Structure 1
Amino acid sequence: MTDIVIGTAGHIDHGKTTLIKHLTGIETDTTKEEKTRGLSINLGFAYLDLPNKQRVGIVDVPGHEKFIKNMVAGLPGIDLVLLVIDAGEGIMPQTKEHIDILSLLGIQNYMIVLSKCETVDAELRELVKEDIKEQLAGTPLCEAPIFETDAVEGLGLEELKLAIQEFGETVPEKPMKDVGRLNVDRVFSVKGFGTVVTGTLLEGQFHVGDELTVFPSGKKTKIRSIQVHETDKKEAFSGQRTALNLTNISKEEINRGDVLTNGSNLEATWMIDAKVTCLDSVQTCFNLWDRVRVLVGTQEVFARLVPIGSEIIQPGESGFIQLRLEEQLAVKTGDHFIMRAYSPMVTIGGGQVLDAIPQKHRRFKQDVIDSLKVKEEGNMDRLILDFMLSRKEIVSDLKEISQYMNLPEDNVLSILEALVEEKDIIQLTKQEWVAQGKMKEARDVIYTELTSYQKMYRLRPGMPVEELRSKIKALLTPKQLGLVIDYLENAQELVQKNHRIMHPDFKIELNKYQEKVKGTIERKLKEAQFTPLKKEELELLDEKNAKDVLEMLEDQSVVSLTFEYVLSKEYYQKSVELVTDFIKKNGAMTLADFRDMTSSSRKSSMLILEYLDEQKVTKRVDNTRELMES
């Protein structure tokens, strides 16, 4: 059985806390102020042991208008909501606002609990039930079952428990992601233990000893111990109400509204792209630069509205917006949020995060609008492709995509493989992928750099890869550039040779002066036989052309032994043959042996033999050379 969390909602004094107390035996009004005033101010927590031994977490959210943000804080991670309505009063204004908030936050499962039923007669109860059904028509609660209860008298509680148990048995297992995320809803200190935080584990797992990052501050801490429903545990799983005892962080360094994660699946942001709905019950529109209160997770921040694709969003309408935040948030794609007016503080709408780390957009740019539509549709393959195409980086790795999509890597991998089959993306390695459009972008950037280089150095056999790497390091890491070059080479869209690359259509053409210099260089090197010549001496043959011609000849008819000396390729190959034959016959060769064979100087022989070592033709053993084992 999967762990589930139940939340309560309803107007002030309709009996939510009393219901929970009689269901669970736990008092969720814990502060002196709450007990004195007779209402819940902060979130209250309890657990319910069902007849089948399943333990269910319960979040009692406050119902007073002033504490709506506490209500919103309690709802992330909720599987089922009990909407509590007083049988003597029916639906009240705060009940309606709670229903709006529940709908905007994407809650799908409800049970309506008619409370205090023993205080009214049967006829009135039936009238109240009819009124409830009428007012809930057209909302996600329209099909919710209604349970008649009276917590004080014990009426209907067992039936409610059995219904909760039946619901719990139908809830599918939550995806077991490794990376956990928890919105902090309470922070306090326990003598002898230190800082403790509580919240519902929205996804993934936490383990004792895990290092956590606190967002948005970025502070680091570790889990000393974990409690789930007042029981010590070694780990906590998605859906569980969790208390964490943290080390190396004070109560003042972590706040309600912060987010904890044990991975790199979050990033603090100043902007959010979202699909929002403006409630049809409000008297205002969503206008450009309107200042609103954004309630997301357990945090409330101010933000400015920027409608995308429309001038305004009218009451009852939905549309795209970008929220420009006044404080950083750490949210993920798919998270729901509520918006309240700056003043007066009434709920005006809400929505769902489509992109948690967007760029600033032009409001009416069609490709931006199209991208948001794709994200709204939630088609996984299109979402992944849109993510890969819209990000600045050329190459995307599996972990990045998995974290963005908030899906396990195995699920993402199957989607990526399908996209490869459709030829929408390219697999570079087991972990790295690139969209076809981004590969074209990379190729165009590389071609631009090559064209510029080859216009400047018309006789050079391509651009050094190292130089290209330095030019586009903001776009591709060295490893990624290597993968892209290999792919383009296999696709015959690039030529790679001797750590240089060139456009496949590039050809070196010499004028008559350069042809003359080429002949002179090749002749002088051939005449020198086994004596390497200095590059600078050859470059003096023609100050305008010799340097470029010499670079062009490298690896064609010239071998560059060092940055300073070159040798005729013909005599380099003869050196290889002489050395190989000698060592095969004699087992080893000395520097003097090579010098005598080639009638060259000791310095010349050393230059050639050290280059042979470098090329792994030979290896030096004490004062002799042996052939490298193949």
Structure 2
Amino acid sequence: MRHIVIGTAGHVDHGKTTLVRALTGIETDTTAEEKKRGLTINLGFAWLDLPDGTRAGIVDVPGHEKFIKNMVAGLPGLNLVLLVIDANEGVMPQTKEHFDILTLLGVREFIVVVTKADTVSEELLDLALKDIREHLAQTPAAGAPIVVTDALSGRGLDDLVRQIQESAANLPSETADGDGRLNVDRSFSLKGFGTIVTGTLIDGPMLSSRDVWLYPGGRRLRIRNIQVHEEDVLRAEPPQRTALNLAGIACSEIRRGDVLCTAPDLTATRMLDVKVTCLADAAPLVHWQRMRLLIGTREVMVRIVPLGAEQIAPGTEGFLQLRLEADELYVRAGDRFILRTYSPMHTVAGGEILDAHPKKHRRFKADVVEGLKARDAGLIDEVTADYLRLRQVPFTQAQVIAKAVDLPLEKVEAALEHLRSRGIVRRTRQGYIHSQAYKAWQAKVLQLLRAYHQAKPLQPGMPQAEFCRRLGLNEDDGTALLHLLMAGSVCRLSRQCVAAKEFRIAFSPAQRKLQSLIEKTLDRSGFVPTEAASLRSLGKEGPAVVDALNGKSLVFLSPEFVLSKRYFTQAARLAYELLQDGQALRLGQFRDALHINRSQALLILEYMDRCGLTRRVGDGRLAGPKLGKYQTKGGTPHE
């Protein structure tokens, strides 16, 4: 069954509730006060089954100006509005204000319903119709169908039902693939059932026996049962009027304006970036003006900050940052709202949230305004790219981006793929990085490494752990950035040290002389490991030269002992030959082959184990995955 939601709107006592009762047989004035006073104070709900099987939920909203905030609470999720006008009185002040609110909230589908037609002559009815058309000219309802009715006699009701069905058939289909949200408009208790809350479901579905979270607070609750139009259902879909029977909470703990959501991570906000339309007959919106914000089922006080302009003039559009005075809101981008003056209360503007979790902006910052224009135009690629470009960390996952920019994950993922194909962003296991951000990190890394090389010209590079620490990155982000930089030939990694690609160790004449002395000393020692301390003591720059030769002409078997790289290569080649008989290499066998003592042979074998040239099995060694390279001359071990 297809579901739509219809709202009624119009001046007080123009017959909205009577019309709904005549169409549905349901009395929407439910409180004693409403019945006594003959006007709707709270929202009333009914439903109508159309001939084609569509079920139309009807929200009967109050018409009196004192109850405008109740009226606004009933509008989210509306597909179609019946604009009710009394044939006797025509267009009245609340008719206009209701219509302004509806258009500000994005409603564009109207049926004008003229009520109490039997109480006026045909001549007066014609004049009323002419007056209505003149008032609606140049508005979104200029071409809306007009149906003349009288609820008491039944005149025009069948025509109205047919028109509702025709208009409903042209409405776009709703999608329900997000997290279900329900702005609570009523909370009450029924004997035998417990706590019941009602509201219009938006964004996504809710399922019976599943969990929802109550905001503020984030309290986890279970849906015991769901009703839509007094029928039990297992699943409610937007934009259905929905009643939830909740377990484990008293109705006094849930207030009008609270939010129920199927997501456990809905985040509060105290600032909103919005696009507004200021009514033509309203005063301009000026900096730090105090306003009433009506959104969902809440009314809160805010201060307004025009962005990119001194003010928002009457009849124009613009961008604002709304800063809440005390309260917090649980809202999302795309939610619509109304702004009313503090006192006296008049509707002056309305619009749509573009960013529900913005930073505090300076008023005339060009990139802020451009970013809001991109959001308003639905340019998700630009919004996503802009967020990544300004990130202080190199990599960001798609889920983090979606939450930060307040957009659906699937749309952000599609935008990232578009941006990647255009070379604007790069994708790694750690997340996405903007090409401009990558260039900035590249420049930062080169500056860091070149300064290090200048200070320590004989070091092979900066230790990788220090590299990450000095960039302010964790190990995972630092390693991912390093891999990108290595792929781009910006730097290289050797022995866990990072160096600029162009860096080469260059010895001075005195250092070259010391190098020669160190290498001759190692050659004289042959297969016998030499104490590193004795080599470092050969000259003032001995420690730096020894470290610079590590991996080039010598290897550190341990922090205390080194071996000529040439002799180590010969030792590895000998180990390869000794293992060709298929038997494990024994320590004594290796010792005798090199003509050294047991502890010296053990030092070399343990280093081979760490390099992957050999692997220990019991009391012997077998060939490791890297030993094969030593079957021919010129092999080099790598840690």
Q: 2:358 corresponds to which residue?
A: 358
The reply to whether residue 337 of structure 1 matches residue 321 of structure 2 is no
The reply to whether residue 26 of structure 1 matches residue 22 of structure 2 is no
Shift of 1:124: 1.8
| SS class of match (1:418) | helix
Q: 2:464 touches 2:498 (CA, 8 Å); kept in 1?
A: yes
Shift of 1:265: 7.0
Q: 1:269 corresponds to which residue?
A: 269
Output the amino acid matched with 1:274: V
| SS class of match (1:269) | coil
* Distance (Å, rounded) in 2 between the aligned partners of 1:202 and 1:129: 36
Shift of 1:523: 4.1
Please list the CA deviations of residues 72-121 of structure 1 after superposition, one character each: whole Å capped at 9, or x if unmatched.
22212211111112222211111111111111111121111112222222
Shift of 1:315: 2.3
Q: 1:597 corresponds to which residue?
A: 593
Q: 1:196 corresponds to which residue?
A: 196
* Distance (Å, rounded) in 2 between the aligned partners of 1:402 and 1:409: 5
Output the amino acid matched with 1:552: A
Alignment of 1:399-438 (within 5 A): 399-402=399-402, 412-428=412-428, 432-438=431-437
Q: 1:500 corresponds to which residue?
A: 497
Q: 2:87 corresponds to which residue?
A: 87
Shift of 1:505: 3.2
* Distance (Å, rounded) in 1 between the aligned partners of 2:215 and 2:511: 64
Q: Structure 1 stretch 211-220 or stretch 82-91: which is displaced more?
A: 211-220
Q: 2:333 touches 2:407 (CA, 8 Å); kept in 1?
A: no
Q: 1:618 corresponds to which residue?
A: 614
* Distance (Å, rounded) in 2 between the aligned partners of 1:525 and 1:264: 66
Q: 2:629 corresponds to which residue?
A: none
* Distance (Å, rounded) in 2 between the aligned partners of 1:563 and 1:26: 89
Alignment of 1:427-466 (within 5 A): 427-428=427-428, 432-466=431-465
Q: 1:238 corresponds to which residue?
A: 238
Task: Assess, with a 3 A threshold, how the Cα gap between structure 1 residues 615 and 287 changes in structure 2: closer, same or farther.
Answer: same
Q: 1:427 touches 1:433 (CA, 8 Å); kept in 2?
A: yes
Q: 1:299 corresponds to which residue?
A: 298
Task: Assess, with a 3 A threshold, how the Cα gap between structure 1 residues 604 and 270 changes in structure 2: closer, same or farther.
Answer: farther
Output the amino acid matched with 1:614: R
| SS class of match (1:17) | helix
- Aligned match for 1:608, one of 587, 604, 607: 604
| SS class of match (1:328) | coil
- Aligned match for 1:570, one of 551, 554, 566: 566
| SS class of match (1:106) | coil
Q: 1:187 corresponds to which residue?
A: 187
| SS class of match (1:329) | coil
Output the amino acid matched with 2:140: P
Shift of 1:339: 1.0
Q: 2:212 touches 2:264 (CA, 8 Å); kept in 1?
A: no
Q: 1:588 corresponds to which residue?
A: 584
Q: 2:575 corresponds to which residue?
A: 579
Q: 1:265 touches 1:403 (CA, 8 Å); kept in 2?
A: no
The reply to whether residue 555 of structure 1 matches residue 554 of structure 2 is no
- Aligned match for 1:486, one of 480, 483, 487: 483
Output the amino acid matched with 1:53: G
* Distance (Å, rounded) in 2 between the aligned partners of 1:167 and 1:33: 35
Shift of 1:22: 2.4
Please list the CA deviations of residues 221-272 of structure 1 after superposition, one character each: whole Å capped at 9, or x if unmatched.
3434333333333333332222333345554554332333333774322211
Shift of 1:349: 1.1
Shift of 1:589: 2.2
Shift of 1:338: 1.0
Q: 2:397 corresponds to which residue?
A: 397
Task: Assess, with a 3 A threshold, how the Cα gap between structure 1 residues 94 and 449 changes in structure 2: closer, same or farther.
Answer: farther
Q: Structure 1 stretch 148-157 or stretch 203-212: which is displaced more?
A: 203-212
Q: 1:321 corresponds to which residue?
A: 320
* Distance (Å, rounded) in 2 between the aligned partners of 1:333 and 1:486: 36
Alignment of 1:504-543 (within 5 A): 504-533=501-530, 535=532, 538-542=535-539
| SS class of match (1:4) | strand
Q: 2:17 touches 2:28 (CA, 8 Å); kept in 1?
A: yes
Report the TM-score when normalising by structure 2. Answer: 0.88
| SS class of match (2:175) | coil
Bigger radius of gyration among the two: 2
Output the amino acid matched with 2:381: D
Q: 1:177 touches 1:407 (CA, 8 Å); kept in 2?
A: no
* Distance (Å, rounded) in 2 between the aligned partners of 1:36 and 1:548: 96
Please list the CA deviations of residues 47-92 of structure 1 after superposition, one character each: whole Å capped at 9, or x if unmatched.
2222122222222222221221122222122111111122222111
Q: 1:272 touches 1:323 (CA, 8 Å); kept in 2?
A: yes
Please list the CA deviations of residues 12-51 of structure 1 after superposition, one character each: whole Å capped at 9, or x if unmatched.
2222222222222322222232222222222222222221
| SS class of match (1:437) | helix
Q: Structure 1 stretch 89-98 or stretch 550-559: which is displaced more?
A: 550-559
* Distance (Å, rounded) in 1 between the aligned partners of 2:238 and 2:558: 61
Q: 2:355 touches 2:405 (CA, 8 Å); kept in 1?
A: no
Task: Assess, with a 3 A threshold, how the Cα gap between structure 1 residues 624 and 338 changes in structure 2: closer, same or farther.
Answer: same
Task: Assess, with a 3 A threshold, how the Cα gap between structure 1 residues 256 and 110 changes in structure 2: closer, same or farther.
Answer: same
Task: Assess, with a 3 A threshold, how the Cα gap between structure 1 residues 344 and 562 changes in structure 2: closer, same or farther.
Answer: farther
Q: 2:630 corresponds to which residue?
A: none
Q: 1:111 corresponds to which residue?
A: 111
Q: 1:2 touches 1:173 (CA, 8 Å); kept in 2?
A: no
Task: Assess, with a 3 A threshold, how the Cα gap between structure 1 residues 417 and 119 changes in structure 2: closer, same or farther.
Answer: same
* Distance (Å, rounded) in 2 between the aligned partners of 1:220 and 1:450: 51
Shift of 1:351: 2.0
* Distance (Å, rounded) in 2 between the aligned partners of 1:591 and 1:134: 105
* Distance (Å, rounded) in 2 between the aligned partners of 1:441 and 1:216: 40
Q: 2:357 touches 2:406 (CA, 8 Å); kept in 1?
A: no
* Distance (Å, rounded) in 1 between the aligned partners of 2:37 and 2:526: 103
Shift of 1:390: 4.2
* Residue segments in structure 2 that go unaligned for 5+ positions in a row: 627-639
Q: 1:175 touches 1:408 (CA, 8 Å); kept in 2?
A: no
Task: Assess, with a 3 A threshold, how the Cα gap between structure 1 residues 144 and 620 changes in structure 2: closer, same or farther.
Answer: same
* Distance (Å, rounded) in 1 between the aligned partners of 2:509 and 2:436: 43
Please list the CA deviations of residues 104-162 of structure 1 after superposition, one character each: whole Å capped at 9, or x if unmatched.
11112111111222222222222122111111222211121111122232222222222
Report the TM-score when normalising by structure 1. Answer: 0.90
Output the amino acid matched with 1:589: L
Q: 2:636 corresponds to which residue?
A: none
Task: Assess, with a 3 A threshold, how the Cα gap between structure 1 residues 84 and 400 changes in structure 2: closer, same or farther.
Answer: farther
Output the amino acid matched with 2:245: N
| SS class of match (1:584) | helix
* Distance (Å, rounded) in 2 between the aligned partners of 1:209 and 1:584: 68
* Distance (Å, rounded) in 1 between the aligned partners of 2:191 and 2:619: 73
Please list the CA deviations of residues 261-305 of structure 1 after superposition, one character each: whole Å capped at 9, or x if unmatched.
3337743222111222222222x3322211111112222222111
Output the amino acid matched with 1:229: H
Q: 1:177 touches 1:408 (CA, 8 Å); kept in 2?
A: no
Q: Structure 1 stretch 105-114 or stretch 600-609: which is displaced more?
A: 600-609
Q: 1:274 touches 1:320 (CA, 8 Å); kept in 2?
A: yes
| SS class of match (1:260) | strand
Output the amino acid matched with 1:576: A
* Distance (Å, rounded) in 2 between the aligned partners of 1:207 and 1:542: 79
Shift of 1:560: 4.0
Output the amino acid matched with 1:299: R
Give the share of equivalent positions with the same residue, in percent. 45
Task: Assess, with a 3 A threshold, how the Cα gap between structure 1 residues 588 and 276 changes in structure 2: closer, same or farther.
Answer: same
